[in-house]
Structure 1
């Protein structure tokens, strides 16, 4: 009997070896299949199943709950860092034609125009070509759309709204599209009744000017929310601009909070606005010559003092210094100046630096080689200022131009972050009274603070003035249709009407 039982261990070992081999093959096959699935999911942008959170041990380990929480946190971080978000479902529609747009103006004027034109393309069921940026204006910036904005993100984030292509199909090569300028501040009905028939007839239409071509008010809610979706989601700066902007913000944050002063006191602003208060006779003559040198600028003869008293001029650096002190900003406040080259150079900033020595500019936060590629690209430099301005603790524009308005609206969208909207008309009156010694310093400070108590970007509705769109509140300065209740301000924008 013993001799008959002796071979059994050998048989068991053989059976065990075969089973182990089969098990190994199955494991290897599973790994290969799972790896292939991951690769395909990544390639096609398919969503992956979320990682399962660790469960507390059933054995009664008192550290099990903490361990589970830690693993869950790590898993969540991994998903946030590694998982590719699913692309929006492409909207299927029959295109009525192609829309080309040539933006005009600076960064923020073009930004708002792009939002408007995407909305028009969506409403008319058009196919939109990636926008062309202004290269002919005073700044002569040769940057293309892809030099400033992330083109792929722009196209993919709008898949469920409008089809965006990089260039016209080859069948339209050599064909000159119908070129026109839409009527300013138009409603959606204008585009439906006047523009759509032209697109259907010509198949391709080009808007040669796009600034302020869509009304502030009276549009359907879904279109207003789409404008916000484009502005706060689809228009993302290029990775290189985002990286430098984040570096600047991190440097400013190392010492605590910081204020951004949008000091719009550059040569082009003063020349074209005719605002020369505080300038010498020689400087005034230089600015006037520049204004006359540009034939496309229609307003030539300008009464500078009249415009200033009407609140239509930017505050000078000296006037801004008085206002900051009166508002109670301490001497050690860290102030980032968001602007191009200040007209008059360092001497014009002397008073501001004397009262607030902790002044910072982008040249102080970045290395020379980092800024070198941006030097002759004013629009890209403005993009850096935009990122820092949106992230600041307080934003104070000395003028109500496009950047001031668009940044204010973005800060409202981010959670009504503090923006001080200076009342320049009343401020220059107070400043003149103080400088003429008709107001004491304490009286001046009290008046300035009381004047701005309700001008800190509190939630409010836009002022609507029928028939006067230029005088009413700008949509992009206060897109209240997109802000929602206070508790939901930071939630992801839902641009479809519910």
Structure 2
């Protein structure tokens, strides 16, 4: 009996000891949590907040201020990364883009889609530096590289450069090729994927129109759009200057029209469209076309091509269009283009009808005239509205000199933000901007094919 009684007392003491230890541990843990959280300024127990009268109110006010700081920090902090897609890479894809900004932009969308479809690792594309524009800008001078990589990490791996071992290997030997134009996904699976697996690194020396527009799986089409509308974000410097330009245009009149006047020398030479040009200008454009071997079409009948609707509208023709559409003389029109071929002579009719013309090229031209103290009359004759408003300062403009692709990026931003966008030619910019504006679903787009109507006017 004694043994049994002693055993029962020991069991009760052990149970009491366990409960005491649990209570002590809970108290220690609670104290630690309160202390750590209080130091971080993220938590304050209600019983402590209610003590001290005015002190409690002051503490609550301090916490509210802290919450405001946290909210601001959250807005300024970079967005959370999308989950990374894990897959076994079949090799690396190097890409050399060709063409102007929007042709390269469309090509990059295709290259990302192809790399994703073939489970390749894409190296950040190289931009065109040898074409008519001779712009030395790299991908990172135009687009936000880190955003490009991170925003697509749930689709494919993108790297800034090849691993060192492969860099050394490709200096000795690199398999380079232009993919067949307008190819579908089957071509890339059957022809390109085996080459990528064999060589480990494959180089596409052209990016334009290398993927079919239609008949592709919806997932690939959606990825194309995602690249164009989300992943290809301009650098913070270009974005900031573009927003300033847009804001100034909006303050000036509330609304503005963007006219993509595709009437630069390269366009006329490539297309062979010489309507309205002098004999000397036609000869100059023809010589230029023969000087570029990768421009395949050499002998072109300008009038036949124009009647087929394949030529850009001239400045004189687009003036008739704007009048027919009801735009009044006080309409603020931003010209998104490079240097207009024929200069002031070809713009005279348009400027007489619509004196409120603005363009990034004219802003740069004024800056150059000021810099070199050239003829004051010439300065005063170039877009008075721009000179008066001083949209951009010389320091802001300086980095854009001799960088036509960066200038085109500003035009792209202004085109997206405009109330109405009117292209004079159904080219790369018209198509890419149209798609981007449609994705926003609250912008107007006007596509004009009216050559025959203009002919009747004449």
1:399-441, Cα deviation, whole Å (9 max, x unpaired)? 1111111111111111152111001xxx222222222xxxxxx
Secondary structure at the counterpart of residue 270 of structure 1: helix
Cα displacement (A) at 1:344:
1.2
Secondary structure at the counterpart of residue 396 of structure 2: helix
Residue 392 of structure 1: aligned partner? 418
Cα displacement (A) at 1:381:
0.6
Q: In terms of Rg, which structure is larger? A: 2
Cα displacement (A) at 1:295:
2.7
Residue 222 of structure 2: aligned partner? 225
**Structure 1: runs of 5+ lacking an equivalent:** 1-22, 36-69, 436-498
Aligned match of 1:314 in 312, 325, 328?
312
Q: Does 1:334 align with 2:328?
A: no
Residue 453 of structure 2: aligned partner? 430
Residue 80 of structure 2: aligned partner? 86
Residue 128 of structure 1: aligned partner? 122
1:426-485, Cα deviation, whole Å (9 max, x unpaired)? x222222222xxxxxxxxxxxxxxxxxxxxxxxxxxxxxxxxxxxxxxxxxxxxxxxxxx
Say which is worse superposed, 169-178 or 119-128, in terms of deviation. Answer: 169-178
Aligned match of 2:180 in 170, 179, 183?
183
Residue 377 of structure 1: aligned partner? 403
Cα displacement (A) at 1:146:
0.4
1:5-54, Cα deviation, whole Å (9 max, x unpaired)? xxxxxxxxxxxxxxxxxx9998774355569xxxxxxxxxxxxxxxxxxx
Cα displacement (A) at 1:304:
1.0
Say which is worse superposed, 260-269 or 368-377, in terms of deviation. Answer: 368-377
Q: Does 1:265 align with 2:272?
A: no
Cα displacement (A) at 1:350:
1.0
Secondary structure at the counterpart of residue 202 of structure 2: strand
Residue 234 of structure 1: aligned partner? 231
Cα displacement (A) at 1:217:
1.3
Secondary structure at the counterpart of residue 268 of structure 1: helix
- CA distance 1:122–1:373, shift in 2 (3 Å): same
Alignment partners' CA distance in 2, 1:167 and 1:32: 44
1:283-317, Cα deviation, whole Å (9 max, x unpaired)? 21222222222233222221111111111111110
Secondary structure at the counterpart of residue 132 of structure 1: coil
Residue 54 of structure 1: aligned partner? none
Secondary structure at the counterpart of residue 277 of structure 1: coil
Residue 296 of structure 1: aligned partner? 294
Cα displacement (A) at 1:368:
2.3
**Structure 2: runs of 5+ lacking an equivalent:** 1-29, 43-63, 364-385
Cα displacement (A) at 1:246:
0.4
Matched ranges for 1:90-109 at <5 A:
90-109=84-103
Cα displacement (A) at 1:127:
0.9
Aligned match of 1:358 in 356, 360, 365?
356
Alignment partners' CA distance in 1, 2:38 and 2:349: 69
User: Cα RMSD between the aligned structures?
Assistant: 2.4
Q: TM-score with structure 2 length normalisation? A: 0.78
Q: Does 1:414 align with 2:421?
A: no
1:59-105, Cα deviation, whole Å (9 max, x unpaired)? xxxxxxxxxxx99x979973762344211111111111111111111
Cα displacement (A) at 1:331:
1.4
Q: Does 1:200 align with 2:197?
A: yes
- CA distance 1:373–1:432, shift in 2 (3 Å): same
Q: TM-score with structure 1 length normalisation? A: 0.72
Cα displacement (A) at 1:169:
0.6
Q: When you count helix as a share of all residues, which structure comes out higher?
A: 2
Secondary structure at the counterpart of residue 330 of structure 1: coil
Residue 428 of structure 2: aligned partner? 402
- CA distance 1:77–1:28, shift in 2 (3 Å): closer
Say which is worse superposed, 152-161 or 277-286, in terms of deviation. Answer: 277-286
